[in-house]
């Protein structure tokens, strides 16, 4: 019998994450501390599409969804196996009446492959990406609840976003202190997620300090709502901090659930 997999929310970073002296090692150590997945389901902030859609099940290039970076970042590859069975299972769980939509031209975007290169560099675990069909917290939570049974099939569900994400608040160096508004949101998130206060996380726009500053648009916080749905279904809503600290002034705080 396969052990139940945990669920993760990670702050994924931009392509230069690979050059940071600390973060890649933190991601690598985190992956080594986890059970080895049979497959990985990535829910990235960088793919919004409705109705819910999964990435290619036959193979497609990575999506280099960033601009103005040095050429070396466009040469990165991550040739993980495709996961057609996982796509089929998601279809049955989300809506058994309708086959899940598949975008065969869409590979993994940088919210998926940038952290996976550091966590599972051998690229030998099948990976599938799931779109965000909405940014509504409670709707995403409900989707996560439907996906929860995948955990018992060896699937590592990963929400990939950023605990704080305001491009105007980025600092000039990787180790610079965050602005106080972003630090306040990060401290709030650390508290409510660790306590398993799901209602506060879902209602963050009203309950979190400086929510509009930390997330002028909410797509980078949205994956945590699906993650919480998948975790709460089995009473695993209390997150354990796996990575903390900041990078260019943004919180790289990440959690393990379960």
Q: Over 237-249, what HEC string results?
A: CCEEEEECCEECC
Reply yes or no on whether the pLDDT at 20 is more than 60: yes
Q: How does pLDDT run across 111-133, given as a tens digit for each residue?
A: 999 999 999 999 999 999 999 99
In the structure, what pLDDT confidence band is assigned to residue 1 with cuts at 50, 70 and 90?
A: low
Q: By three-state DSSP, how is residue 33 classified?
A: helix
For domain 7-257, say whether CATH 1.20.1250.20 is its number: no
Reply yes or no on whether the pLDDT at 17 is more than 90: no
Could you tell me the two tokens for 85? 């069975």
Could you tell me the two tokens for 164? 């704080």
Residue 3, pLDDT score: 87
Percent of the chain with pLDDT over 70: 100
> How far is 190 from 164, CA to CA, in rounded Å?
12
For 157: left if phi > 0, alpha if psi spans -120 to 50, otherwise beta; the answer is beta
**How large is the average pLDDT for residues 137-145?**
98
Q: Name the nearest CA neighbour of 28 among 122, 96, 108.
A: 122
Question: For the residues of 46-78, what is the DSSP string, one character each?
Answer: EEE-SS-EE--SS----B----S--GGGGS---
Reply yes or no on whether the pLDDT at 2 is more than 80: no
> How far is 123 from 9, CA to CA, in rounded Å?
20
Question: Where are the domains positioned within the chain?
Answer: 7-257
In the structure, what pLDDT confidence band is assigned to residue 98 with cuts at 50, 70 and 90?
A: confident
Reply yes or no on whether the pLDDT at 9 is more than 70: yes
Pairing of strands 254-257, 7-11: antiparallel
Reply yes or no on whether the pLDDT at 157 is more than 70: yes
**How large is the average pLDDT for residues 52-73?**
95
Residue bearing tokens 């992956």: 31
Reply yes or no on whether the pLDDT at 151 is more than 90: yes
Which residues, other chains included, contact 24 with Cβ-Cβ below 8 Å and sequence gap of 6+?
Answer: 17, 18, 118
Strands, E assignment, 87-234: 101-102, 127-132, 155-161
**How large is the average pLDDT for residues 25-54?**
98
Residue 145, pLDDT score: 98
In the structure, what pLDDT confidence band is assigned to residue 229 with cuts at 50, 70 and 90?
A: very high
Which helix (H) or strand (E) covers residue 195, if one does?
helix 180-195
Residue 215, pLDDT score: 98
Phi/psi for 245 (5° steps) reads 100, -175
Mean pLDDT, the chain, whole residue set:
96
Residue 167, pLDDT score: 87
> How far is 143 from 88, CA to CA, in rounded Å?
15
Reply yes or no on whether the pLDDT at 25 is more than 60: yes
Which helix (H) or strand (E) covers residue 140, if one does?
helix 137-147
Q: Name the nearest CA neighbour of 164 among 60, 95, 252, 67.
A: 252
């Amino acid at each position: 019998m396969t052990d139940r997999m945990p669920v993760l929310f990670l702050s994924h970073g931009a392509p230069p994450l690979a050059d940071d002296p600390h973060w890649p090692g933190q991601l690598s150590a985190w992956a080594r501390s986890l059970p080895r997945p049979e497959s990985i389901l990535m829910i990235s902030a960088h793919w919004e599409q409705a109705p819910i859609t999964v990435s290619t099940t036959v193979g497609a290039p990575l999506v280099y969804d960033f601009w103005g970076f040095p050429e070396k970042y466009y040469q990165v590859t991550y040739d993980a196996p495709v996961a057609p069975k996982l796509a089929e299972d998601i279809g049955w769980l989300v809506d058994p009446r309708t086959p899940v939509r598949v975008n065969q031209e869409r590979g993994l975007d940088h919210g998926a492959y940038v952290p996976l290169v550091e966590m599972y560099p051998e690229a030998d675990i099948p990976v599938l990406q799931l779109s965000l069909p909405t940014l509504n917290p409670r709707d995403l939570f409900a989707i996560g609840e439907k996906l929860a049974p995948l955990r018992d099939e060896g699937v590592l569900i990963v929400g990939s976003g950023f605990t704080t994400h305001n491009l105007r608040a980025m600092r000039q160096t990787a180790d610079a202190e965050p602005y106080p508004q972003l630090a306040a949101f990060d401290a709030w998130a650390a508290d409510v997620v660790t306590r398993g206060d799901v209602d506060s996380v879902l209602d963050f726009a009203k309950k979190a300090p400086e929510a509009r500053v930390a997330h002028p648009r909410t797509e980078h916080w949205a994956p945590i709502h699906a993650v919480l749905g998948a975790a709460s279904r089995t009473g695993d809503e209390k997150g354990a901090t796996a990575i903390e600290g900041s990078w260019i002034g943004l919180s790289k705080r990440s959690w393990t659930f379960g």
